[in-house]
Amino acid sequence: MTTPDVTTPVDTTQQTPTVQQLLAGITDPAGREVLDPATGEVVGRVAFGSAEDVDRAVERVRAAQPAWAARADADRIELLQRAADAVEASAEALAELLSREQGKPLNGPNARFEVGACAAWLRATAATELPVETVVDDGETHAELHYRPVGVVGAIGPWNWPMMITIWQIAPALRMGNTVVVKPSEYTPLSVLALVQVLNDVLPADVLTAVAGSGDVGARLSAHPDVDKLMFTGSTATGQAIIKSSADTVKRLTLELGGNDAGIVLPDVDPKAVAEGLFWGAFINTGQTCAALKRLYVHADVYDDVCAALVEVAQAMPMGRGLDEQNVLGPLQNRAQYDIVARLVEAARDGGGKILLGGDPDPSAPGNFYPTTLVADIDDENPLVAEEQFGPALPIVRYDDVDQAVAMANRLDVGLGASVWSSDREAALALAARLEAGTVWINKHGGVHPMIPFGGHKKSGYGLEFGVEGLKAVAVPQVISY
Ligand code: NDP
């Protein structure tokens, strides 16, 4: 079995490629099956790499790094912009492949949205400047802070937003003069290999490559002596394993780990006005989003009305096969995640939670579809609240007193995002300052922006992505002083 050659470009200049053309360059008939989570059909077969494949990939990008770093910054900017053009030229085929492999619908904030975000992040990263900073200049001493490339960056990603997260990791790394080895999730290798192939249509040879495989490929990348920095997005447990395996080489790490985001609804909201924002905050990508709203705390004064408004919105959102244009919610990407959601909803039911909607999957139906589920009157200690469900099931907890809501929101050991919902901006801002989360949104939840830094608190990880801070994270600061 050979590793796929994602350095072979797809010629996107002639015409928009089809999914079959994208797959032709990355699949291996003797490789592992990758299944469509909506139907169980085989989407493609991919060769899983070994530790030796990682070593070879690192050697190649290491050799290419000095020349890439030596290029004028303007060249790298231009190449990232052309990479965005290439993604846009292949957008429909990339979105279709993503939909078939990941399960997310083409429409709604899903597959087409994700491919669009890849192009947008490439362009924004190209446009971001990280100038030399003069830190002291007092007549006696002059000191400047420069940012140099780290060297080789390893990019390890999950299966929920496979293309977008890959771009988040590699675009700033390339912009700063690093070369990159990508390791996609074993569940969604095709989307990422196809994306890397499209990018390599414009990038110089060996600046960017990918090795598909399971956890052992990621583990080798984390321990590799010639990898200088790791960008990791995934679970807290894997993040902890990476901290340990990267210790011997003192690798720099950016860790975007799991979350269990709380949203607090104050009594002054108009329930109908906030319902759709709450819904998408929780159910974007069918709940499989790191910074989705996963625990909703609603004041008793508006509790019943917020629950009723959420049920109304949720009932109007069609779930089904991603390629059917009318759907906005899809299946869980894999059976293991389906089983987690099913177990947690059963725990909620057993604990006396009131199922307002859903909670009744059809085990005989094809695919990993779990119905949109809303659970009210649930205890804050219930596993559906305390554990990350990462799927379409939202627990709604009643509170009477804001201090009690803050204590519940902060009681877990993760803190990626949080949100406050109120018609009083000052009250919302005051509450936001009390929440232990890397981002606090007001009257929205989970939106990210290429210029706004994003990162976690507590066991949700450390390091920032996006914007100027994101460029600094893939660079080594160097002081020049005279
Ligand atoms: P995992 O942590 O299981 O996997 C993430 C990646 O790490 C995969 O590519 C995986 O490979 C790889 N990996 C597994 N073991 C190792 C290892 N020992 N060393 C290095 N790499 C390894 O996460 P999931 O893919 O299951 O994603 C879901 C989780 O990710 C959720 O908990 C979610 O909250 C979190 N997440 C966080 C985000 C954030 O920005 N904070 C964004 C998205 C998700 P393989 O799949 O082949 O085993």
Cα-to-centroid distance, 221 and ligand 1 (Å): 14
198-241 confidence digits (pLDDT tens): 999 999 999 999 999 999 999 999 999 999 999 999 999 999 99
pTM of the complete model: 0.95
**Cα of 423 vs its chain's centroid, Å:** 30
- Whole-number Å distance, alpha carbon 404 to ligand 1 midpoint, is 33
What's residue 16's pLDDT?
A: 85
What is the model's pLDDT at position 10?
55
Q: Ligand 1 atom 9: the closest Cα is on which residue?
A: 185
Q: Describe the strand order of the beta sheet including 439-442 as a list of residue ranges.
A: 354-357, 373-376, 393-399, 293-299, 261-265, 417-421, 439-442
Residue 308: half-sphere exposure toward Cβ, Cα within 13 Å:
7
CA–CA distances in Å: residue 132 to residues 62, 464, 467: 26, 20, 16
pLDDT of residue 7: 52
Catalytic-role residue among 101, 256, 388, 465: 256
Give me ligand 1 centre to Cα 310, in Å.
30
**CATH homologous superfamily, domain 261-448:** Aldehyde Dehydrogenase; Chain A, domain 2 (3.40.309.10)
438 Cα to the center of ligand 1, angstroms: 19
* pLDDT at site 363: 82
Backbone angles phi, psi at 215, to 5 degrees: -55, -30
Which of 227, 238, 284, 458 is the best mutation target for the ligand 1 pocket, counting ligand atoms within 8 Å of the beta carbon and taking the most? 238
Within 10 A of 359 (CB to CB), how many other CB atoms are there?
Answer: 20
Residue 351 CB neighbours (<10 A): 17
The residue whose C-alpha atom lies closest to atom 43 belonging to ligand 1 is 290
Q: How confident is the model at residue 14, as a pLDDT?
A: 54
What is the whole-number distance in angstroms between the Cα of residue 239 and the centre of ligand 1? 8
Q: From ligand 1's centre to the CA of 76, what distance in Å?
A: 29
b/e sequence 409-425, b meaning 16+ C-beta within 10 Å:
bbebebbbbbbbbbeee
pLDDT for 32-79, tens place per residue? 999 999 999 999 999 999 999 999 999 999 999 999 999 999 999 999
Domain 3-129+149-257, CATH 3.40.605.10 — does that match?
yes
DSSP string across 354-415:
EEEE-----TTSSS-----EEEES--TTSHHHHS---SSEEEEEEES-HHHHHHHHHSSSEE
Using the atom order of ligand 1, give the atom closest to the CA of residue 258: 34
Q: Which atom of ligand 1 is nearest to the CA of 186?
A: 47
Domain boundaries, the chain: 3-129+149-257, 261-448
Q: Which residues line ligand 1 (CB under 6 A)?
A: 156-160, 183, 185-187, 214-215, 218-219, 222, 233-235, 238, 241-242, 256-259, 290, 388, 390, 416, 456, 461
- Using CA positions, which residue lies closest to atom 17 of ligand 1? 219
Q: Which helix (H) or strand (E) holds 452?
A: none
Q: d(Cα 198, Cα 213) in Å, to the nearest integer? A: 20
Determine the pLDDT at residue 4: 45
Low-confidence residues of the chain: pLDDT under 70: 1-14
Closest to 153 (Cα-Cα) out of 240, 79, 214, 65: 65
Identify the residue whose C-alpha is closest to ligand 1 atom 21. Answer: 218
Average pLDDT, the chain: 96
What are the beta bridge partners of residue 296? Answer: 263, 396
Task: Count other Cβ atoms within 10 Å, centred on residue 377.
Answer: 17
Q: Indicate if 256 belongs to the active site.
A: yes
